[in-house]
A and B are shown apart, each in its own frame.
Chain A
């Protein structure tokens, strides 16, 4: 059953509701979740809407159960998702590792809050490592999309479902407490991507065909090597085709500010304020955190004099920028441990101290 978006009118919508509504419009057939601030509105919305549309909704007994329910559902070829936050996403790491080797299109929305441990419910970007480096075992990557506005919460939710199915790889929409709780005018529209045929792998009952099995167990060393080479061949294709970023004023920039998610909004304004002061600043925002825009950053590192990453964590993405830049120029970090992003003026002040 599909839902059509009947209006192109802008609606003032909270980030969490925007994600949930977009998931419904993307054709998500099953939602499994366990409530946690600051993303509880997603489950709340789904609890009503999925029932109304005769789709699946389960309020799971734990996050561990929820993500494994998603694995079960997507194994049958349908679109399914869960959503959670930080300390509870920790509980899902094992299943995410399994889903990469099972090659299953799991969609996870992670709305970051303060950590480590139980932490607090304020916005944070402290789970960059959690989703890009993985807390699960083995060699794997999750596709990670990082929205910076409520409209992008909609756009990238659609994209998350598409990429997950296109590459049969778990995909994460990485938002944060600020985006989840924020309201902005958004436009909903019909799912803009082609539907992916899952009939050649999905478990749909073996009537009239040979039975299939999806499992992560690879007991033979040699076979496993072959599988991993194949898996990483897929990652190479993803890295070649799906990198997305935004950049402004980087052509003549002496200093390039790199930031993702909600923090990047203030960083963009800080760049403009630096320009007004005669400092040649540029702005670079990775939209896909995996695949990371390594190549473009490497190109820029041959033209610019310095990179500064701005993050609401103790410095995580800065490591990926350093790897991309590979010593071509210095990479500095401006950070705040947890909470709403630093204001543009605060960022400008700190950058002036670095110059």
Chain B
């Protein structure tokens, strides 16, 4: 089995970090995984994205032509990657910053007010990790325990004070009521 994920949003929303946490989680679960960023003349406020390919075998490909999952943290990312999702794949979108419009009927949508929920957790910067909670629930490809371990791996020693809040954001994302999808 091989699945790929695109995480996209504004520069500064923690898109690359969320991808790194997810990639670490897959590695910890014993999967093959490749993470790579879009990079170019990016700046804060511009769009940024990364792709993660997870596989039971050697990762077959980079720069794939389509994707199984998209996390879109803003409208521009939603618009840009909607057409790239495979039939039956998932669009997980931040309804605080993207309109709830379902133009495609052959994919699954999960709209959640990710930014708003993160504010309720206590830090708007946790939106990226909260979105991973949603992804874990929707994809059933990674457990919350593994994601927590991955957070612990990625967060450097001098930032460990932020670990509990990140874990809380993950939990809230995971427990967000997916119905009605």
Contact = CB atoms under 8 A, between A and B. Distances in A.
B39 A262 contact: no
Contact of B27 (A10, A120, A177, A178): A10
Interface string A208-248: 00000000000000000000000000000000000000000
A344 B24 contact: no
B36 A269 contact: no
Nearest to A37: B39
A23 B32 CA distance: 24
B65 A345 contact: yes
A183 B61 contact: no
A38 interface: yes
A113 to B, nearest CB: 11
B60 A269 contact: yes
A42 to B, nearest CB: 16
A12 B33 contact: yes
Interface residues of A, number: 26
Nearest to A179: B36
A38 B39 contact: yes
Interface in A252-281: 262, 265-266, 268-269, 272
A341 interface: yes
B39 A181 contact: yes
Contacts of A344: 60-61
Nearest to A184: B34
Contacts of A177: 39
Contacts of B41: 121
B103 interface: no
A343 B61 contact: yes
Nearest to A339: B63
Contacts, number: 61
> Which residue, of A38, A340, A341, has the highest number of chain B Cβ atoms within 10 A?
A340
Interface in A120-151: 120-122
A348 B29 CA distance: 32
B48 to A, nearest CB: 12
Interface residues of B, number: 21
B63 A341 contact: yes
B35 A12 contact: yes
B4 to A, nearest CB: 11
A343 B63 contact: yes
A184 B63 contact: no
B23 A183 contact: yes
Given A262-B62, A266-B62, A178 B36 contact: yes
Contacts of B61: 265-266, 269, 343-344
A185 interface: yes
Contacts of B59: 184, 265
B40 interface: yes
A121 B35 contact: no
B20 interface: yes
Contacts of B32: 185
B54 to A, nearest CB: 11
B36 A343 contact: no
A299 interface: no
B35 A183 contact: yes
B130 to A, nearest CB: 21
A37 to B, nearest CB: 8
Interface in B1-57: 20, 23-24, 27, 32-37, 39-41
B23 A178 contact: no
A41 B49 CA distance: 19
B64 interface: yes
A337 B133 CA distance: 39
> Which residue, of A10, A120, A181, A346, has the highest number of chain B Cβ atoms within 10 A?
A181
Nearest to A266: B61
29 contacts: A10-B27, A12-B24, A12-B27, A12-B33, A12-B35, A12-B153, A38-B39, A120-B40, A122-B40, A178-B62, A181-B37, A181-B39, A182-B34, A183-B35, A184-B33, A184-B34, A262-B62, A266-B62, A268-B60, A340-B62, A341-B63, A343-B61, A343-B63, A343-B64, A343-B65, A344-B60, A344-B61, A345-B65, A346-B65
Given A12-B20, A122-B40, A265-B60, 12 more contacts: A10-B27, A12-B24, A121-B40, A178-B36, A183-B23, A183-B34, A184-B35, A184-B59, A268-B60, A269-B60, A340-B62, A341-B62
Interface of A: 10, 12, 38, 120-122, 177-178, 181-185, 262, 265-266, 268-269, 272, 340-346
Interface of B: 20, 23-24, 27, 32-37, 39-41, 59-65, 153
- By Cβ-Cβ distance, the 5 closest A-B pairs, closest first, are A340-B63, A183-B35, A269-B60, A343-B65, A182-B36
